[in-house]
Structure 1
Amino acid sequence: MVQNLNGIKHMRQWLAVGFVTVWLGFQPLQTWAQSDAVKVGVVNVAVLLEQSPQAKSASAGLEQEFSAQQQELINLNSQMEQKQSELNRDRLAMTESQQNLREREVAILGREIQRKRNDVQELLNIRRNEELAKLQNVVNDAIRAVGQREGFDLILYEGIAFTSSRIDLTEQVLQYMTELHEQPGSNFNR
């Protein structure tokens, strides 16, 4: 029992020495933090990827790029609906072989539409990912530029559960991106 008390006394001494050592070790950090405050900001990248003029421009460009394919799909779908309507209307006047032939035509057209729709969707996804990668580079450059201009030491943008409006830089970065987008010849301009 006496040995246990000595062990506890010895452990308390080591803890006290450890505490003092750690406290003395942090003294320079506390002094540094008091004299040179770290400036931290937060940016909501989802807002920038959705509301920036570069994002809107990329979206409009993709829409224009794929408008012909979308129109072709609309026309093919109209053709299929018309053939289906004609089949339903004339079904009683047709022989069974004529009905089968028309049903096959409608089914073939339906498969063609689905195949084209899948192809267009795949191409659209590839192009959207390419544009998103470009836009992410623009956003990162804008965040870096605003951070350097405003003297920030750290800017965070992922995994933030709460942000005070005092350190939220989203609007500043969005404004910066808007200004860059409006400059002729800017490499941020689409």
Structure 2
Amino acid sequence: MARWEPGARERLVMAAVDLFTEQGYDATTVAQIAERAGVTKSTFFRHFPDKREVLVAGQETLSRLLVEGISGAPDDAGPLDAVAAGLERASSAMGPMNREIAPRLKAAVAASAELQARDALKTVSLAAAMADALVARGVPDATAAVASELASLAFKRGYAEWSDGNRAAEDELADYTLAALDELRAASASLS
């Protein structure tokens, strides 16, 4: 096995998603994932603590990019404009691999209660990171919480629409997440 071949992390993610889709999460072992990716089990464990964490491999990066975008928004940006900057920054990091595995990842999560729970924790964690970044900008806690939840929902909705197989290959995720945020902004305004 080619332990030191570049791209091991990405290959592990692809192998796991494929195996989870083919045979189910519970029936898939770490050894099978490593074998499919062409690496050793120890290489798997250098990248992930367990098989569940493979599906949230990019969470730390995504969280960091969202926070960077919010922190880098102009000083006069309101909370929703700041989270829009975060969505745009994070969306720019999503490429063809993310789009390719999205439907299989969605199916794997839908078929496993354990993965659904982990996916929910990921969503909560991303919203909390965005809320903290907004609070650091001086946004009141309650406002930061609402803005970060809207941004989290916008990311989820935009990602689902972007990864739909009927979209043009050159479409950018940012266009979908920002459109979803605008739609949610309008919907929340109508709640009064």
Q: Same fold (TM over 0.5)?
A: no
Which one has the largest radius of gyration?
A: 1
Normalising by the smaller structure, the TM-score range is under 0.3
Provide the TM-score with structure 1 as the length reference: 0.23
Which structure would you say has the larger RCO, counting Cα contacts within 8 Å and 6 or more residues apart? 1
Provide the TM-score with structure 2 as the length reference: 0.23
Bigger proportion of residues as helix: 1
